[in-house]
Structure 1
Amino acid sequence: MIAINNLTFEIGARALYDEANWHIKPGEKIGLIGANGTGKTTLLKIIVGDYSPTSGTVSMAKDLTMGYLNQDLLSYSSDKNIVHVAMEAFERQNQLHDEIETLLKKLETDYSEDLLNKLSDKQHEFELLDGYNIEYKAREILAGLGFNDAECQRKLSTFSGGWRMRVMLAKILLQAPDILLLDEPTNHLDLPSIQWLEDYLKAFNGAIIIVSHDRWFLDKVINRTVESRKGKLTVYAGNYSFYLEEKELRAEIQRGEFKNQQSKIKQEERLIERFRAKASKAKMAQSRIKMLDKMERIDDVDDDNPEVNFSFKFSKQSGRHVVTMEHITKKYPTIDILDDAEAIIEKGDKIALIGANGKGKSTLLRIVAGADTEFKGTSQTGHNVTQTFFAQHQLESLHLENQILQELQAFAPKHTDTELRSILGSFLFTGDDVFKKIKVLSGGEKSRVALAKALTADANFLVLDEPTNHLDMASVNILIQALQQYEGTVIVVSHDRYFLDNVANKIWFIEDQKIKQYPGTYAEYDEWNAKRKLEPKAAAPAPQPKKEEKKEAAPAKQQGDNKHQQLKKLNQDLAKLEESIAAIEKDVKDLETQLADNTIFNQADKMKQVNNNYQLKKMELGAQQQRWEALAEQIMELE
């Protein structure tokens, strides 16, 4: 389909690609990954012909059609409504429509047979191209990307850049090209739209190349991973999770080969040193020196996964209740967000606030942070709570003339330079990078600086609004590690499901103008929500009683009997759960034994299957242990 051979692309003296090769086959769904600055977007521009390679070739069929979504489209504007903009994808159908309209106008005064034949031919072609359904198709895709009927009538120019990008994505999808090239397609999409796009791309018949930092999205869509690194393109025959496993296996082999070669080199050097001075052995020594010089050296494995090597500290612990919200009602002229809603954030909670755009996530986050006071009801911050609020607009508050290190020194004067440099190092600013001025940084780099500032604050409560925007995968992993070891309380809005699944222990969502809660990880919530959509009654959320709800007191004997029966039932459930946990623990140990078995280590498929089963059992064990703890707490409260 597309063949890239010996591609070299230079920017000044730097070779972004150095004799790279890659063959793209029909129907492949490919994730193009790599750290920021490794040339992923540049490669897409080379494929579509926007850039010319320094040397090498990019070959493809002449009739190959390509659809290219890139961030440059944010600036596109039009005074047409968004349905008509999306319908621009149907170039031939639109041309025929205009020609048919012209012929119909002429027929008002000219009834010639020639004109009627032309009209019949045009209408036949229009019908063959399904021209009568193009508006329906456009509206269907726009609906999937989050536009309602009223918004479909609005001019493109009235929408923000992010919503305009959705329209351009709809237009590209409607073109149904042979290959889609999508540069960060999930940027500016909310969770329902991302999930819709996943399903659309999985069913798409053509080839796809996706540049994305959204691991969850990649795992759902792609069946090939191509890594751009050190000027080369390396292909892995699976999704992103497969790539991580396969890369680690390759790295283990390379580490072994590197150690063996280093051992051999040291042995040869000792022999050379020993015999160099002896005349009878000088010739042999010279021969071994030449052999070492000609030896193709194996590189050691680079560490692509930097770890957080500092801990976030705060000077005082918060009380048990961090934020208490009661009878919250928040309305705008065109939409009601919350109606008599209530919720409590407790010490140690790590909450993911999720949902579609326009449903009130950012509004609720601002109420929690105290940045929005225009509402009915009360939102009370608890004892000793110290808060930091991170949002994308805070990038604008960075001092452009400051160096990165100066920016943190001014914000966190209690930290030493060594501590600050350690923090910046964890956010990928190493060595002389810390002396770069803020004004020369990219959007992603500014995000990392702003996050580093937020996490150096003496705060026991973090409020984070889209902290992963503009971050590459390495930076997202750093933030995950930082928040996992953070001992304070967190509430975060993000569309990055991998990030949420690794950080949050509670999920909040707004439904029926109330704040609903799911007590678990994002993956558990996602599974529960999928079942709830299929069986809305059976899987409805458990009712959440209002705080301090008064009930009529039951007679003491009746209360005692109920308590005894409840304790008996809970203890029976606990015993069954302990049996289940013991069985799962045995399965986990059996799988660990298999993983340690050398006979399957070289069987990649078998190794992958056993490892997948092991991870699933570990997740199941964790879930059962959480249920055991919850039951045990209930029993202790009743006793």
Structure 2
Amino acid sequence: MLLGLQNVTFEFGARVIVEDATWHIQPGDRIGLIGYNGTGKSTLLKVLVGQYLPSKGTVEKGRNTSIGYLHQDLLSFDTNDSILEVAMGAFERVRELEKEIEALGKLLEEKEDEKLLMDYTDKLHEMDVLDGYNIQYKTEEVLHGLGFTNEQINKPYKEFSGGWRMRVLLAKMILQQPDVLLLDEPTNHLDLPSIEWLEKYLLHYQGSVVIVSHDKYFLNRMVNKIVEIYQQELHIYSGNYEYYETEKAIRIDMQQKAYENQQDYIRQQERFVERFKAKASKAAAAQSIVKRLDKIERIENVTLERPNIKINFQVDKQPGKVIVTLKDVNKQFGDNVIVRDAVAEIERGDKIALIGANGKGKSTVLRIIADAETFEGERVWGHNVQSSFYAQHQLEALNLNNTILEEMSECRSGKTELELRSLLGCFLFSGDDADKKIKLLSGGEKARVALAKVIVSKSNFMMLDEPTNHLDMHSVELLAEALNKYEGSLILVSHDRFFVSQTANKIWEIIDHEIKEFKGGYTEYLEWKERMAKQAREEGRKQQEPKAKAQETAIKLQDTKNKPQEKQRFDNTELKNLQKKFQKVEAGLEDLKKQKTAVEAELGNPDIYKNATKFAETEKNYKAIQTQLAQAETEYEQLFEKIMEIESAMA
């Protein structure tokens, strides 16, 4: 065992987080720590690392177990050092050795000393054992994987925002290679490419990993064990998140049946007692049953307790067909071009996911649409559009000294206090909770307040920037369900692949500083991307094959033409006709190949999917060209063999 809890009870104020909990982290474990918002996942990690002490029980840690702990509080760290320097801080001993070796080298230049030489040799050997000469390469590799460019890694750490700083600290932690890595919502700060890189990296990580995350896709790919905090207890499941969902349903079903069977048994026994307790001949038996019922260990009724936020987005007015149009939009930060002459349009009913790597400008484009960012070009609102904008900075923009109710009142929604309290109840702020100060709320609770403010607006067009951050998985599912029922239009930025797959009917991606649109959901988009990549690979291979075949054919034909016509025993008319036909088919074959390449380029352009009629016509054209090409190649080969046969006979 590397780390664990033994019969631990921990209370946070008057609230019990866990009671009599036992959990051991073994080598090779990749654990997903899950639970509803407010159950104490992050708190439990702090108990594991010793930041909080349990009121009962012990936290057990192996003598030489090293722990890496990534959490939000790390963001208070600041420095003028470059990102590369901060991340290379993982190799403390190697950095010390570098200084010691340099100092000893200077001393040995001044005088020869056998002891100094031995010390110098020992340190060089230790440096070699620690693979110290490759630390910069290793650090750069991890930083690149987490989305940093060569230019960025040499910039000062303090110039970067919170999300990017967290990536640097994650890189440092990974490079330290602790025995146990505790990650609190690591995907909140990563884009999709970086999440995929982290998945691959952690799958081959030698140590054990504990992850607090609401990302179903990430947990399904990453973990081999789930630990759920539920009703102040730890429930452990061997398997990924999908297995946990199935197994939990089975466990609840079994407990429910056991409870019902026991209740039936108890009722039968109680009826017997009630019927015969007054009869002398049965009184002893009745008394015996009463004693047995008193001793029986009662099975609890299964009541699935979970915080069900009730999200019901309302629309006040119906907008026109077009919600917003972007025309010739240009935006850059210094040398970093986000979009250039970009055009895009959002129509009524569109539910768009804006995806792509960090740094491509997703949030910037969202702010341009929301008129919260300066830009060159034109942005035109449609008729009757009422918009609302949910962004991460809005969580920071909440007035910390306000109560939740005061914050909601400032929205000027026209709702009475009673109506606002009723709405807050849907977001799990019931009774006195509505009078809590914002500064006392957790990240998840602040996110719920910001969402409630969006709902109050009754907008018919929503812009959502990472709305699932700080929400537990059940709340993410409820939000996705509510957005599917939402009668308005929306555009969202999210790194949560499950959430995007459940909500979007169109995908936008910023490619080469343009906004490219794919008409379809996230799953179809991924399939299309894979299909296009596969097609490109196959075309690259096919383009090489015809060239080689054509060269071979040309050589054979040239050899045939150069053969001396000594034994012409047949008429040349047939041969000449075949050769003319061969040249014509060859020219037609080349023309069809050019047509095929042109149509493939059209199909590779995401713009074509905006027009369903044009796409169907192009796809039909492509299939027709493929058929013609196959027929032409067959005729080409048959003619060539016939020509060779006649020329051979005439030779």
Normalising by the smaller structure, the TM-score range is 0.7 to 0.9
Distance 1:415 1:494, change over 3 A: same
Q: Which letter maps to 2:456? A: T
The answer (yes or no) to whether the contact 2:356–2:362 under 8 Å persists in 1 is yes
Quick one: distance in 1 between partners of 2:64 and 2:104?
31
Q: SS at 2:7's partner residue?
A: strand
Q: Which letter maps to 2:354? A: L
The answer (yes or no) to whether the contact 2:518–2:610 under 8 Å persists in 1 is no
Following superposition, the deviation at residue 545 of structure 1 comes to 5.8
Distance 1:265 1:443, change over 3 A: same
- Please list the CA deviations of residues 76-97 of structure 1 after superposition, one character each: whole Å capped at 9, or x if unmatched: 1223222122112112212211
The answer (yes or no) to whether the contact 1:306–1:426 under 8 Å persists in 2 is no
Q: Is 1:232 matched up with 2:233?
A: yes
Q: Is 1:444 matched up with 2:422?
A: no
Following superposition, the deviation at residue 29 of structure 1 comes to 0.9
Quick one: distance in 1 between partners of 2:372 and 2:106?
60
292-301 or 412-421, which moves further after superposition? 412-421
Quick one: distance in 2 between partners of 1:337 and 1:478?
33
Following superposition, the deviation at residue 202 of structure 1 comes to 1.0
Distance 1:470 1:291, change over 3 A: same
The answer (yes or no) to whether the contact 1:385–1:461 under 8 Å persists in 2 is yes
The answer (yes or no) to whether the contact 2:309–2:428 under 8 Å persists in 1 is no
User: Which consecutive residues of structure 1, in runs of 5 or more, have no partner in the other structure?
Assistant: 549-561, 574-639
Distance 1:403 1:51, change over 3 A: closer
Q: Partner residue of 2:528?
A: 528
Quick one: distance in 1 between partners of 2:319 and 2:65?
61
Distance 1:423 1:477, change over 3 A: farther
- Please list the CA deviations of residues 211-241 of structure 1 after superposition, one character each: whole Å capped at 9, or x if unmatched: 1122221112111111122232211111111
Q: Partner residue of 1:636?
A: none
Q: Partner residue of 2:170?
A: 169
Figure out how many residues of one structure are paired with residues of the other and give that number: 557
Q: Is 1:90 matched up with 2:91?
A: yes
The answer (yes or no) to whether the contact 1:306–1:478 under 8 Å persists in 2 is no
Q: Is 1:262 matched up with 2:263?
A: yes
Following superposition, the deviation at residue 270 of structure 1 comes to 4.0
Following superposition, the deviation at residue 262 of structure 1 comes to 2.8
- Please list the CA deviations of residues 47-103 of structure 1 after superposition, one character each: whole Å capped at 9, or x if unmatched: 333333333233343122222222221111223222122112112212211110101
- Please list the CA deviations of residues 93-128 of structure 1 after superposition, one character each: whole Å capped at 9, or x if unmatched: 122111101011212311233323322221122122
- Please list the CA deviations of residues 142-187 of structure 1 after superposition, one character each: whole Å capped at 9, or x if unmatched: 1111221222112223322322221111111111222211122122
Q: Is 1:486 matched up with 2:486?
A: yes
5 Å matches for 1:357-436? 357-376=358-377, 378-400=378-400, 402-405=402-405, 407-408=407-408, 411=411, 413=413, 420=420, 423-436=423-436
Following superposition, the deviation at residue 399 of structure 1 comes to 4.8
* TM-score, normalization by structure 2: 0.78
Following superposition, the deviation at residue 276 of structure 1 comes to 5.1
Following superposition, the deviation at residue 401 of structure 1 comes to 5.3
Q: Is 1:542 matched up with 2:605?
A: yes
- Please list the CA deviations of residues 297-339 of structure 1 after superposition, one character each: whole Å capped at 9, or x if unmatched: 2222233455565643323222222122222222332221112
Q: Partner residue of 2:646?
A: none
User: Which consecutive residues of structure 2, in runs of 5 or more, have no partner in the other structure?
Assistant: 540-599, 625-651
Following superposition, the deviation at residue 44 of structure 1 comes to 2.2
Q: SS at 2:151's partner residue?
A: helix
489-498 or 428-437, which moves further after superposition? 428-437
386-395 or 402-411, which moves further after superposition? 402-411
Following superposition, the deviation at residue 466 of structure 1 comes to 1.5
Quick one: distance in 2 between partners of 1:107 and 1:177?
36
CA RMSD of aligned residues (A): 3.1
The answer (yes or no) to whether the contact 2:311–2:478 under 8 Å persists in 1 is no
Q: Which letter maps to 1:164? A: R
Following superposition, the deviation at residue 431 of structure 1 comes to 4.4
Distance 1:215 1:324, change over 3 A: same
Distance 1:535 1:128, change over 3 A: farther
424-433 or 530-539, which moves further after superposition? 530-539
Q: SS at 1:319's partner residue?
A: coil
454-463 or 131-140, which moves further after superposition? 454-463
Q: Partner residue of 1:500?
A: 500
The answer (yes or no) to whether the contact 1:308–1:482 under 8 Å persists in 2 is no
Following superposition, the deviation at residue 208 of structure 1 comes to 0.9
Q: Is 1:43 matched up with 2:106?
A: no
Quick one: distance in 2 between partners of 1:311 and 1:535?
43
Identity across matched positions, percent: 52
Q: Which letter maps to 2:300? A: D
Q: Is 1:323 matched up with 2:324?
A: yes
Distance 1:187 1:485, change over 3 A: same
Q: SS at 2:607's partner residue?
A: coil
Following superposition, the deviation at residue 295 of structure 1 comes to 2.6
